[in-house]
Structure 1
């Protein structure tokens, strides 16, 4: 009889919702160390040195006393998008994070003893996404084999690559097609030659693709070398749909006629944007 009454209750839509939430909670608590669905998995950052940033701007809130499982569940249920948390078993304390901690962020002023950092795993957001640029080398030399889409096709060290024409401040914008949180941007410099042409790159993120309306993720001063792989971490993490890379200083090269008047060319094998869709 009890089971029959329970089934009647669960047939009600509101009770089904409660049942689903209970199952998610139980599943999450049981699988804190492994995956219970990609959206609610938090992996340990093995590189975290136990240093907790002092500024409260990194955190949604801090609570104690807490268990590891309760801390994870609070992050999962947070109204503000929670990308991870810091937990101290010694202090039974929980700090919910709204931005990824980068190497620079970890060098704060508070050494937190046994603090550990758990974060949502990122995904590649840029693969095969729409690309626009200030110019296209192929428009001037159709047989060069350089196409805009090569920037995000997942292929590196290929004859064809992304290549703007020669201009003072070349740029490229990748449309992620969804509002996203950006953790870092990885640039694969050309592997053939002229690697030093990659310098003074500023990366911005925004809901608009208009440069002045975007927020700086990070910069790469350079100059680079042929075949370099450059990781620019957003500090703090940035939110938006569009990511733009732009050379913001005139070319310093004097022994190449293509660089006259300070002209640059933005040339890359690939760009990988890591983060999460929101």
Structure 2
């Protein structure tokens, strides 16, 4: 019996170590979270295992109270000096934002006004809490935005900086669809709705290898897709 307990303990430790290999510490200040699922844990490793099992891009661990939070709504604070009373943000390891400066097109441009609402604003690398100068589609059943990564890459997750001023709830039921030719398959999904100013992460199925990445609203009729910045993290 003692041998069996030891074996089970070693399996648990191995699972936790493997889980932490996916994540790294990203921040201790400058963020706010809400609407989390929360649980008391015995260690950060246990929190990492929960985050991985829940297929989360990020999880949050409180080093004072040993609390684990995941499935949170995440907001960047304007001041990075804001503390979080022991909370640490851990995030999936990634190589780079491969969407930065890449060719991008949308299903439409609101009012055909490319000066204010062009898709290129979504991959210009500027997150300035500004509006206009973000991507904004017309109102249609399934608006979309598509990024050409130029080469097939292994995609880890998608990060969307939602509209910063109003109407953030319009970002809902968004499918992440990918292809290397013309046949799209869904490799991630966000139900939402998102909040105004929220940073939304969508984890892709593993492995997801593709050149073209499309975000598309799949539910409803009078939808409009507006995105302040779209990042595609590859490994």
TM-score by length of 2: 0.60
The CA distance in 2 between the partners of 1:226 and 1:121, in whole Å, is 26
Aligned equivalent of 1:69: none
Q: Is the Cα–Cα contact under 8 Å of residues 94 and 233 in structure 2 kept in the other structure?
A: no
> In structure 2, which of residues 223, 227, 234 is the aligned counterpart of residue 268 of structure 1?
227
Counterpart mapping for 1:97-116 below 5 A = 103-104=52-53
Structure 1 residue 174 corresponds to structure 2 residue 141:
no
> In structure 1, which of residues 139, 148, 154 is the aligned counterpart of residue 125 of structure 2?
154
Richer in strand (by share): 2
Aligned equivalent of 1:207: 180
Q: Is the Cα–Cα contact under 8 Å of residues 105 and 235 in structure 1 kept in the other structure?
A: no
Task: Give aligned pairs, total.
Answer: 153
Aligned equivalent of 1:49: 16
TM-score by length of 1: 0.51
Q: Is the Cα–Cα contact under 8 Å of residues 106 and 145 in structure 2 kept in the other structure?
A: yes
- Higher CA-based Rg: 1
CA RMSD after TM alignment: 2.4
Q: Is the Cα–Cα contact under 8 Å of residues 217 and 237 in structure 1 kept in the other structure?
A: no
Residues 120 and 265 from structure 1, CA distance in 2 versus in 1: closer, same or farther, beyond 3 angstroms?
Answer: closer
Shift of 1:217: 1.8
The CA distance in 2 between the partners of 1:218 and 1:106, in whole Å, is 11
Shift of 1:234: 0.9
Point out 4+ residue stretches in structure 1 off by more than 2 angstroms: 48-52, 104-107
Richer in helix (by share): 1
> In structure 1, which of residues 236, 257, 267 is the aligned counterpart of residue 206 of structure 2?
236
Post-superposition CA distance 1:169-200 (Å, at most 9, x none): 10111000111110100011100100111100
The CA distance in 1 between the partners of 2:208 and 2:157, in whole Å, is 9
Shift of 1:124: 1.1
Unpaired runs of 5+ in structure 2? Answer: 1-14, 20-50, 57-91
